[in-house]
A and B are shown apart, each in its own frame.
Chain A
């Protein structure tokens, strides 16, 4: 297994929004989905997921309802709202700009300076 990376500060919200943008998921499902997409290279403290979920729901970016899980247990499912969609978009843009800028800086050669 590749070495796991600690999650960058402030990126968990974005990952959650992305995860639930594909289909509604329960908390554990979100965890699995992120790990799956990241090919298990991201380390997420499991408990920390929930305060983030509650915060996002409080902001109205995701909504939740109780449903039935794959193994017939009651579980709370989260889905992206319209506001959440816009939020994800702007967050993603910001992230891309940021990584581009940082990548540019890191690739700079002495001649360019």
Chain B
């Protein structure tokens, strides 16, 4: 039979299904009646004739099965039959069904939601053409490089089909209703075509547009195009004003396009990067380099080539080409998040395993009460395989309903995960319960259903027909095998729960250690905002200092503001710049070994607004202006590192580009307490605070490349009340000076700190939820097993009590039985946790993966839960009336 004929036969058979069943039944009844009639004609009594006719006919069920098999509809046929039967039998015990379905829905749903996140964030390839071939080339795999280096690498390498570079650029969009500070990138012409994504409208940059004078074009992101230009197609060819210059819109990228993927992730526009005079610059490190591997070139080959080139350049220009690393772009994007995601995925898979074990429990308990049903079916001729199939169909039915509900939960869960996810998770916006997640859900459902259904099915089908039926209505004594299986399930539940609890415990310890970290400053009651002067009349070098002073004065005079100051980049939230410097009077260090420090530019009042204590010396004052000698404040770490055993105050340093013969010196006037910088968990590096009103870059009159980067100030105000409530008045104060000023990043310092610890908090929350679910499931599991076995032992307990066992003895007997399982499980779990917690090392802070305290507390806590779970059924057993118990059965 070909497929089509087979299908037709099947479908016809399905249509005739009920008719066929009816006819089959009637035909066989007729047979038996006719045979009985024959027997009666020979003088056998009616009753005996019927009995004999039935016996001679043989198993009716088996015969019918044989007929169904013969017609070839048996698979679907039996499936429907089993489904009907399964549904009926599940509906007979609604509470059991409800609980099971709910537990399964939770387990499957949570797994699918987490899978959705893991898939979107870390499994799927980046959304560029052939993105596996894209790499980044960065110092130490992380830091930007200079223009001259980029040009050398590009011109000397042969491994790459294309290479491009990007600079961070955040201009003010003006000339529109409300000016806005926008994140963007300046990219070389080669960069966007390399990604292989066509623009939705218009074109990408063409050859020659990244030359000076030809670089006034802009490509918009879909979001910016929608938000600021209402998706107007006529925007192509029109000019928009960025930082006071007109740029012609040449293209709009498609929805969902994001570049760069690991830094400047919120970039909403791209303009050409004209290097101009910077092509000879080997000092200013601001470029991120991207490249596409040539076909047939491996990552290793490209790495070897870059290593050779940079080695040569390093000899030629010492200190400029050290440790340049080629990293696959995807690794750069998802690398940092991989470990936490895998830990979460493992944790949620553990929850699913515990769920399986738990449901298997319930099914085992239930199948014990279904012995008779199975025995009757077996007696009627059902084969063992058939009964196993019936039970598995029932499990699949449970699993499928659970899975369907789980899908709903997964969709809600994924939304909740997106909402509570820390801000630095890449691609989290693309998380969705899509086809891939649905396939995952399907396989999870199948796996779970077979996982929890197989053991009970095999157990149930192995009943001894004769014994069961002979026993009549009497309850079944526990088989040894069944008991061992249930014990194993409880032990594994406890082991899994313990591992999860330890994971959660370690994260809680980590988080509390992070909470205890001293920021250095006092983040409470502080609000900050970035005010950008780019493209306004205040950006004039001559006006900036006056304007900034005026601005801070205006903020200080607001009611509720206690102190205010300004800084270029806010710690933890803003960008972070570093530089090498020269210490006066010291021998010139070898190339690349000059002292380095993070530097920020601060106005008078910043330290008091942040309550960042000055440990020694004095604060920067209003008189430290361009006409006064240069002053800086350093942090403790810089003092320890570069002036050990010396008093740094009064010492002079220089940031001059020409380190051989510096001319401009600044004097250290104070030492500030160490403050957290960009990474909350990292110990502060050496840091130097420059006086903003002495800094030509900050004031925009140095003519350097940096100056065009610094066209903004971050205002910091300490308030007496709710800092967020002060923000509107502050904004009004800014706009009262100039309506065109763009304000962005309005943040309370508390929110900044919360964001900095958002990822460990997220991990802690999820792990804690999973561990709590695991704990409850394990407790329910042990409770179920102990109370079930206690009720089976009623008779035995009665005997023991009548032979003189006290209630306490009974209590201990039952609790002891449960605790043996709990202890065995916990020991297994401890071994598992010792092996597995190492994988979390990257997630931990201030606590070892084998932290004894966590292990002890968790194991003890679990033991207490187990005791309580066993105590309840034990108490019930203790109250057994021995006389009643002996009469029982």
Contact = CB atoms under 8 A, between A and B. Distances in A.
B62 A47 contact: yes
A42 B401 CA distance: 52
Given A26-B30, A74-B30, A45 B72 contact: no
Interface string B23-40: 110111011011101100
Contacts of B23: 66, 76
Given A58-B71, A58-B72, A46 B57 contact: yes
Given A27-B27, A58-B71, A47 B63 contact: yes
B578 interface: no
Nearest to A30: B31
B58 A45 contact: yes
Contacts of B24: 50
Given A46-B35, A46-B57, A71-B37, A54 B67 contact: yes
B69 interface: yes
A45 B62 CA distance: 12
Given A50-B63, A51-B63, A69-B30, A28 B70 contact: no
A94 interface: no
Nearest to A76: B27
Q: Is the interface of B mostly helix, strand, loop or mixed?
A: helix
Given A45-B58, A46-B57, A76-B23, A51 B31 contact: no
A48 interface: yes
Interface string A47-81: 11011111100100000001001010111100000
Contacts of A66: 23
Given A45-B58, A76-B27, A28 B34 contact: yes
Nearest to B20: A54
B34 A55 contact: no
Interface in B47-73: 56-60, 62-63, 66-67, 69-72
Contacts of A74: 26, 30
Contacts of A71: 34, 37
Contacts of B33: 73
B30 A51 contact: no
Q: Is the interface of A mostly helix, strand, loop or mixed?
A: helix
Contacts of B58: 45-48
B70 A54 contact: yes
A46 B52 CA distance: 12
A46 B56 contact: yes
A66 B67 CA distance: 18
Contact of A51 (B35, B56, B70): B70
A54 B71 contact: yes
Interface residues of B, number: 25
B35 A28 contact: yes
A73 B33 CA distance: 10
A49 B59 CA distance: 12
A30 to B, nearest CB: 10
A21 to B, nearest CB: 20
Contacts of A50: 24, 27-28, 31, 63, 66-67
Nearest to A55: B70
B34 A69 contact: yes
A69 B59 CA distance: 24
Interface residues of A, number: 23
Contacts of B35: 28, 46
Contacts of A28: 30-31, 34-35
Nearest to B55: A46
B718 to A, nearest CB: 89
Interface string B542-577: 000000000000000000000000000000000000
In this complex, which of A28, A75, A76 has the most chain B Cβ atoms within 10 angstroms of its Cβ? A28
A51 B72 contact: no
A54 B66 CA distance: 9
A58 B5 CA distance: 13
Contact of A47 (B30, B59, B70): B59
B252 to A, nearest CB: 65
A45 B58 CA distance: 7
A73 B70 contact: no
A26 B28 CA distance: 11
A31 B28 CA distance: 13
Nearest to B63: A47
A76 B67 CA distance: 15
A69 B34 CA distance: 10
A100 B27 CA distance: 38
Contacts of A32: 38
A74 B60 CA distance: 20
A46 B67 contact: no
A13 to B, nearest CB: 11
Contacts of A52: 70
A7 B72 CA distance: 25
A7 B38 CA distance: 23
Contacts of B72: 58
A52 B71 CA distance: 10
B20 to A, nearest CB: 9
B402 to A, nearest CB: 37
B66 A51 contact: yes
A66 B31 CA distance: 14
Interface string B347-358: 000000000000
Contacts of A31: 31
Given A46-B56, A47-B63, A50-B63, A75 B30 contact: yes
B36 to A, nearest CB: 10
6 contacts: A26-B30, A27-B27, A28-B34, A28-B35, A58-B71, A66-B23
Interface of B: 23-24, 26-28, 30-31, 33-35, 37-38, 56-60, 62-63, 66-67, 69-72
Given A54-B66, A75-B30, 4 more contacts: A46-B35, A73-B33, A74-B30, A75-B27
Interface of A: 26-28, 31-32, 45-48, 50-55, 58, 66, 69, 71, 73-76
Nearest 7 CB-CB pairings of A with B: A51-B66, A47-B58, A55-B70, A54-B70, A47-B63, A28-B34, A54-B67
